[in-house]
Amino acid sequence: MFENKIAVVTGAGGTLCSCIAIHLAKKGAKVVLVGRSAEKLQKTADKIAEFGGTYVIKTGDVTDKAAMRKIADEIKAQWGNCNFLINGAGGNQMNAMTTLTEYDPVELSEDKPEGVRGFFDLDMDVYTSVLKINTVGTVACCQVFGEQMVRNGGGVILNFASMNTYCPLTRVPAYAMSKAAIENYTKWLGNYLAPANIRVNAIAPGFFVNERSRTFLGTVEEGLTPRGESVINHTSMKRFGVAEDLLGCVDWLLNDEASAFVTGVTIPIDGGFLTKSGI
């Protein structure tokens, strides 16, 4: 299924997408590692090299269509057209997050304490940059690599949604807004590209262990922050996910035999987070 297929993985230096990239390489895919940090991508590449997998590192900003086009052209010349696109690049920024979970008059007061950041304090340039990386970055890559799939007679696109897709979490309005958009866009593009034999789906990871989660949530083993306790209390399986928890669903969605009639869907991989109302 994956042998000698060309898989473009954006955000391949991150915890989740590095795991996906390594997994696809183990299954025989030729993996294109795309991201802004060559250092992070090299760590993923080193793990693939350990078992003799095939990869290439390509640095660039996924919101820059011309840069993605250059990468696509280089890959086509080296290996051929893209078969799989995993749109994992994205993220959030501190200055696009509030420190408050709901409005408090203190954010508009003249003696507002240092460090308090409410909705009315958010920097719109930073806010827009979060929207851009999570939405425009996905669209630009779909245009560039999706065109290769059309010319190739088909392919599979896998986008990254979030728990914020279903219900916005506190403090992250820009990120929540962008991830809600990904589900809608996945439906739209799945319909649009169906005549080209291209399936478009998304996964919505719940709360997974990575460097960022350790800072904001803590760990079950070493202690949780108040926000982390709230997450675990809301998660049926009472743990955070690990990157390997994604692989079965990713395999299924990329497999044209197993999921041949599946397009335009977003699948939560969340340990039951969405099953609990909190009441």
Contact assessment for residue 89 and residue 137, using Cβ atoms and an 8 Å cutoff: yes
User: Which H helix or E strand runs over 30?
Assistant: strand 30-35
- 196 DSSP assignment: G
Contact assessment for residue 85 and residue 155, using Cβ atoms and an 8 Å cutoff: yes
Contact assessment for residue 269 and residue 205, using Cβ atoms and an 8 Å cutoff: yes
Q: Which two tokens stand for residue 186?
A: 């996945």
Q: Which two tokens stand for residue 273?
A: 């987070």
* Catalytic site includes residue 103: no
| Distance of alpha carbon 204 from alpha carbon 207, whole angstroms | 10
Among candidate residues 103, 127, 166, 175, the one labeled active-site is 175
Contact assessment for residue 157 and residue 189, using Cβ atoms and an 8 Å cutoff: yes
Catalytic residues: 175
